[in-house]
């Protein structure tokens, strides 16, 4: 079965109430391919999740940007997976490089979060990706496969996971991976899943690309056979996100 194109908008730590309402109105008014062609998920900061969920069109879903690693309790400042489930938030982004690098979330901690969130019934956008230093040292696949392996060691069912390959050097820099660079890592990652998890999981798991995706570069990236969609940062705060959603049609026919 073909992998459905997936476009996620990671709003990161951005937005005022007014800006969020405006962005949702823009999305609600947009003409985009049908749900059969593309799955669209937007990820506002925690404080806007309930509002966005209440206002957003029903064919788009919402995602949190993080959640606590285990059951909630005395963990000041954290948000638990149970709370997201309670609010009917279906998705969570875990292991984003901004959390790995700035908040020092290591592979095993991210894998524990993924496992716990899946166990609570959430769907997970699990992020992996190398730094520029690691790429230049020729370590890209080692890094990405170690990050994926930590998850694969704990998770048995991959049906609710989307893997986001986000090279750190491409995030927020305007320096997008070339289509060939993205395809190379996506294809190797898929092969890693084939060898280390199963051919079925490799075939069905969506591997999406993130890092300076915009309206101008999305079509060429989407044409790559192993690029199953995008996780968009900066451009997801603008009307151009709609054009990125439309790049899903590239996969048709």
**Catalytic residue positions?**
96, 166
| Residue 33 · residue 248 · CB < 8 Å | yes
Task: Report the run of H or E that residue 86 belongs to, with start and end.
Answer: helix 81-86
Closer CB to ligand 13P, 177 or 197, in the complex: 177
If the CB atoms of residues 41 and 79 are measured against ligand 13P, the closer one turns out to be 41
Neighbours of 208 (CB within 10 A): 26
Among residues 50, 66, 61, 59, the alpha carbon closest in space to that of 17 is found at 50
CB of 233 to ligand 13P, least distance (A): 2
Q: Measured from the CB atom, is 65 or 224 closer to ligand 13P? A: 65
Q: In the complex, which residues of this chain contact ligand 13P (CB under 6 A)?
A: 10, 96, 166, 171-172, 210-213, 231-235
3-state secondary structure of 61: strand
CA distance 87 to 49: 9
State the minimum distance, in angstroms, from the CB of residue 245 to ligand 13P: 14
Rounded least distance, CB 177 to ligand 13P, Å: 10
Q: Is residue 31 a contact partner of residue 64, using CB atoms and an 8 Å limit?
A: no
129 vs 145, beta carbon nearer ligand 13P:
129
Q: Closest distance between ligand 13P and the C-beta of residue 60, in Å?
A: 17
Which residue is nearest to ligand 13P, using beta carbons?
233
Q: Among 252, 197, 200, 188, which residue's Cα sits nearest to residue 226?
A: 188
The answer to whether 47 touches 20, Cβ cutoff 8 Å, is: no
Q: Which is nearer to ligand 13P, 93 or 197 (CB)?
A: 93
Which among 112, 111, 119 is positioned nearest to 150, based on CA atoms?
111
- In the bound complex, what is the minimum distance in angstroms from residue 138's beta carbon to ligand 13P? 23
User: CA of 76: how far to CAs of 72, 80, 110, in Å?
Assistant: 10, 11, 19
């Amino acid at each position: 079965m073909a992998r459905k194109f997936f476009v996620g908008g990671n709003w990161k730590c951005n937005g005022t109430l007014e800006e969020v309402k405006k962005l949702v109105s823009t999305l609600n008014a947009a003409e985009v391919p049908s749900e059969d062609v593309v799955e669209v998920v937007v990820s506002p900061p925690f404080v806007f999740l309930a509002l966005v969920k209440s206002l957003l069109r029903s064919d788009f879903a919402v995602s949190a940007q993080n959640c606590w690693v285990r059951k909630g309790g005395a963990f000041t400042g954290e948000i638990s997976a149970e709370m997201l489930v309670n609010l009917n938030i279906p998705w969570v982004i875990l292991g984003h490089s901004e959390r790995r690098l700035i908040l020092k979330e290591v592979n095993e901690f991210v894998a524990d979060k993924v496992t716990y969130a899946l166990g609570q019934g959430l769907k997970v956008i699990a992020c992996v990706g190398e730094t520029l230093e690691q790429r230049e040292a020729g370590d890209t696949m080692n890094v990405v496969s170690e990050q994926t392996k930590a998850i694969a060691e704990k998770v048995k069912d991959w049906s609710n996971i989307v893997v986001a390959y986000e090279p750190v050097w491409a995030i927020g820099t305007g320096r997008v991976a070339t289509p060939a660079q993205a395809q190379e890592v996506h294809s190797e990652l898929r092969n890693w899943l084939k060898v280390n998890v199963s051919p079925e999981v490799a075939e069905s798991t969506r591997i999406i690309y993130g890092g300076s995706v915009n309206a101008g570069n999305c079509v060429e990236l989407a044409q790559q056979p192993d690029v199953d969609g995008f996780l968009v940062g900066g451009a997801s705060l603008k009307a151009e996100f709609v054009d990125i959603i439309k790049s899903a049609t590239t996969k048709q026919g």
